[in-house]
Structure 1
Amino acid sequence: MENSRVNGDCPTENASSYDLTSSIATNVVDGFTMVAVGDLIVSRALTKGHHPGFGGVVDIVRGADAAFGNLETLIFDIRSFNGSPAAEYGGAYHISLPDIGPDLRAIGFNIVGRANNHAFDWGVEGMRETSRILDHSGIVHAGVGENRAQASAARFLETARGRVGLLSCATSFTPMSRACDPAGEAPGRPGLNALRLAKSVVVRREMLATLRQVRDALPNPKPDDDPEVVVLEGTKYRIGEYAGYSYDAHDDDIAQILRNVRSSKQFSDFCIFTNHAHQPGNWSQEPAEFERLLAHKTIDAGADAYVGHGPHQLRGIEIYKGRPIFYSLGNFIMDDLRTPVGADMFEEYGKDLRANTDAEVTAAEMSSGYASDPGFKDPVFYESIVTVSRFDQNQLTELRLYPIELGHSMRLANRGVPRLASPAQAKSILERLQKLSNPFGTDITIENGVGFIRPASELRQH
């Protein structure tokens, strides 16, 4: 079947808005709501503890038909675990207690993404045990599997207002965590659903000339055919107007993603596509250009929402053909009471296995960050939103944005649990989000400390 694309025509009053073919048309009951949040970095059961203000956030999550978050941890009991910490890990060894599964369900989450740079912190055994616990907890999850076909496949959530399909991929992942399919006698490889990127460093013309001199001065230089490109020690440099980074997505990976989006929508009433992307870095409040293209293509293929996460801070919101694109929803929970952390982390952050504690290693990681990114000292990493998208007549009629804060100034044992932000902090968060969303033509109004986007009324005017 051909890949039907969404055009830019104004919607009609029937269920086939934007001339979608019936096989990938949105088909939910009026009043369908989706809660989407960012990273779930959680190590303990939060509903059992004393966390002032947390209940107000839980009430919002529980009110949705589909409540989505990015599960950026592994769930298992270290006392009976048969695996080991992986040599490649996502910057820290994320680990959670087994009661996290039922606790996330108690909070209200019923669908989560798994493809991210922490999915294989504890190897294949950690991935499998996490899957077992999520299945037992009644939480639908996607993005990892025993081979590429399983990792890239859609998983489905049944709700009273429609069937929801979820696809999860990552452009930020450890190299050995990428899943692959069997080939002849070679078996498939367990892993995550990866979208590979070819990264280039963009420099001005005079900079490229200097880089070419360095390359030619090294032993065994290899000239490039393209005069506007220099490859130096495996890094590709090309000419641009401004210095920065660019990314080219892998054609085969994109083709499979779009086919799976189309397939997901053909078997569901509503489709969520989610991607874990740190590019160009945790320091950036703007998404890389490849991600905007990816978001548009997945919606063209039938996705009803694109949910981005990865850089641990908010990025802008775009409404594309009546569908929400969240370029990053930051952190929803950043409860980093992880233990054990694995010996490699002690060495990475200059700590002594015999003298320092897991908490001191975690504190060092939170201060210094990953090797290529800043740490989490800035309060911006502890401010985010809970998004609630409402659909009527199969169109997005209202998007509510509830500002939350995660206790940046609190001690480690109490930090990272979300609560609704104070009026002053809510105003600050929403005004920042207004600025980040303005380049995408998104109008966010602020009413009583809550942000609102109402795209349907704007579309009817065209």
Structure 2
Amino acid sequence: MERHSDEEPGEKAGHYDTVGSLATNVADGFTIVAVGDLIVTRPLTKAQGPGFGAIVKILREADVTFGNMETNIFDIRSFKGSPQAEYGGAYHVSLPELGPDLKKMGFNALSRANNHSFDWGVEGMRETSRALDQSGIVHAGVGENLAQAGAARFLETARGRVALLSCASTFTPMSRACDPAGEAPGRPGLNSLRLARTILVPPEVLENLRKVRNSLPGYRGRHEEAKRIVLAGMTYETADKASYKYEANSKDVAGICRNVRQGKQFADFCLVTNHGHEPGNWSQEPANHEQSFARELIDAGADAYIGHGPHQLRGIEVYKSRPIFYSLGNFIMDDLRTPVGADMFAGYQKDPMKDTDAELTAAEMAGGYETDAGFSDPVFYESVVAACQFEHNQLAEVRLYPIELGHSKRLANRGVPRLASGPQAQGILERLQQLSKPFGTHVAIENDTGVINLRH
């Protein structure tokens, strides 16, 4: 395989680097195809819908084909675990045949850290790991302790060795992994990026909240900042308009950056992925912390950053000749979810003795709470497949293939992607153009395909 110079500043030519350079070191033509969330309950390649085969062809042609695995894989008839009281908003489960089918589609790298990693507890995590291992798919983001969950996993390709790291800023609190401490053992879980959230409100709203806080029983007056209060465990600050502000946990960021650096030291290319819904599925813009976080990971050695979680497209940035995808939306939303835990029935005021699993899923899709609009908007059923090509260890081109998931179809036929065309493809790509403009990224549209051309 062709190698390129990877001397660090200050290194002498011919000096043996005992640590390993953080430079990209892949052969020309190296390609990554990346998609967003895989919410899939069954094998799809045997009875693929119209247009699905064209997408599979794109997936199979890449050196690395990545997606976010947002489900568990096991056979309920022999499963020894149980649905957890704390779950990611829905109980995601897939048939055991899914592992080989994902491999057949072309997937060889999957992220595992997300809010559904532990819908079915540690047993579900372990069963899913076994299924993916048996199918020869590299996966990262969960493990028996934090060290395992945060570690890079490696994929061997013809054009270079790839390190994969996965973390999540949106997760159920009890699913966070930890390391041993003294005699206390470590805890199985996912690789977390904890965020401290502050709600920003106009000054007059803050004063009203202060009055509410001061009137509550048990409150003891204390010195505090004039433009900041804490009410019922939530921090509020003044701002010109209402919004959210996030601050990433410095210890988590340092640990993730260290693992990125180590992963790159043992690989030619490092792919880092984060699952985050912040500030909410309603937002087409990333949360305030994410750009600096993504750039810090690239500074630490990452060659690409892929975000997912909000179930819709967000913008694309190119930083130091490396791609940052703030969200690739949904790739598969084939959510024929069954079985479903009793807690979810209760959460949507449904009765498992009267209502079916499909009817419960339909209620979730429609939105069950005042702050939850569900997934009724067509925007959640439109996305892209992103194909990145590298030449001379630089990102040369990103091709963006618009896809649609059949928003208007019945539940049993909805959620399987096919290439979009005509006005729909144009609409998807124009939206991505606008979302990417704030990051200085130009997306051209050529024959129903988006193109980011970085060749000079």
Structure 2 length as normaliser, TM-score?
0.95
2:43 is matched with 45
Aligned residues of 1:387 and 1:402 also touching (Cα < 8 A): yes
Aligned residues of 2:203 and 2:238 also touching (Cα < 8 A): yes
Q: What is the one-letter code of the residue matched to 1:295?
A: A
State the Cα deviation string for residues 162-214 of structure 1 (Å, max 9, x = none).
Answer: 00001100000001000000101111000000010110001122222222121
CA distance in 1, matches of 2:59, 2:100: 15
CA distance in 1, matches of 2:240, 2:252: 29
State the Cα deviation string for residues 116-171 of structure 1 (Å, max 9, x = none).
Answer: 00000000000000000000000000000000000000000000000000110000
1:245 is matched with 244
CA distance in 1, matches of 2:352, 2:308: 33
State the Cα deviation string for residues 54-101 of structure 1 (Å, max 9, x = none).
Answer: 000000000100000000000000000000000011010000000100
Aligned CA distance change for structure 1 residues 17 and 238 (closer, same or farther; 3 Å): farther
1:460 is matched with none
Q: What is the one-letter code of the residue matched to 2:430?
A: E
Structure 2 SS opposite 1:180: coil
Aligned CA distance change for structure 1 residues 263 and 372 (closer, same or farther; 3 Å): farther
Aligned residue among 142, 150, 175 for 1:177: 175
Deviation of 1:224 after TM superposition, in Å, equals 4.8
Aligned CA distance change for structure 1 residues 38 and 284 (closer, same or farther; 3 Å): same
Q: What is the one-letter code of the residue matched to 1:454?
A: N
Moved more, 21-30 or 72-81: 21-30
2:215 is matched with 217
Aligned residues of 2:6 and 2:21 also touching (Cα < 8 A): no
1:305 is matched with 304
1:157 is matched with 155
1:269 is matched with 268
Aligned CA distance change for structure 1 residues 240 and 390 (closer, same or farther; 3 Å): same
1:207 is matched with 205
2:325 is matched with 326
CA distance in 1, matches of 2:127, 2:10: 39
2:17 is matched with none
CA distance in 2, matches of 1:370, 1:91: 12
Structure 1 SS opposite 2:94: coil
CA distance in 1, matches of 2:7, 2:432: 28
Gaps of 5+ in 1: 1-13, 458-462
Q: What is the one-letter code of the residue matched to 2:347?
A: E
Deviation of 1:15 after TM superposition, in Å, equals 4.5
Structure 2 SS opposite 1:214: helix
2:16 is matched with none
CA distance in 2, matches of 1:16, 1:288: 34
Q: What is the one-letter code of the residue matched to 1:63?
A: E
CA distance in 1, matches of 2:59, 2:402: 13
2:439 is matched with 440
Structure 2 SS opposite 1:413: helix
CA distance in 2, matches of 1:385, 1:17: 36
Deviation of 1:17 after TM superposition, in Å, equals 9.5
Structure 1 SS opposite 2:336: coil
Q: What is the one-letter code of the residue matched to 2:149?
A: A
Structure 1 length as normaliser, TM-score?
0.94
1:193 is matched with 191
CA distance in 2, matches of 1:241, 1:321: 33
State the Cα deviation string for residues 13-53 of structure 1 (Å, max 9, x = none).
Answer: x6449969861110000000000100000000000114111
Aligned CA distance change for structure 1 residues 25 and 449 (closer, same or farther; 3 Å): same
Give 1:13-412 correspondences, 5 Å limit.
Answer: 15-16=5-6, 23-222=21-220, 223-368=222-367, 372-412=371-411
Structure 1 SS opposite 2:83: coil
Moved more, 69-78 or 421-430: 421-430
Aligned residues of 2:348 and 2:368 also touching (Cα < 8 A): no
CA distance in 2, matches of 1:26, 1:372: 43
Deviation of 1:221 after TM superposition, in Å, equals 1.9
Aligned CA distance change for structure 1 residues 300 and 86 (closer, same or farther; 3 Å): same
Aligned CA distance change for structure 1 residues 213 and 410 (closer, same or farther; 3 Å): same
Aligned residues of 1:224 and 1:230 also touching (Cα < 8 A): no
Q: What is the one-letter code of the residue matched to 1:251?
A: S
Aligned residues of 2:54 and 2:418 also touching (Cα < 8 A): yes
Deviation of 1:403 after TM superposition, in Å, equals 0.2
Deviation of 1:360 after TM superposition, in Å, equals 0.6
Aligned residues of 1:142 and 1:151 also touching (Cα < 8 A): yes
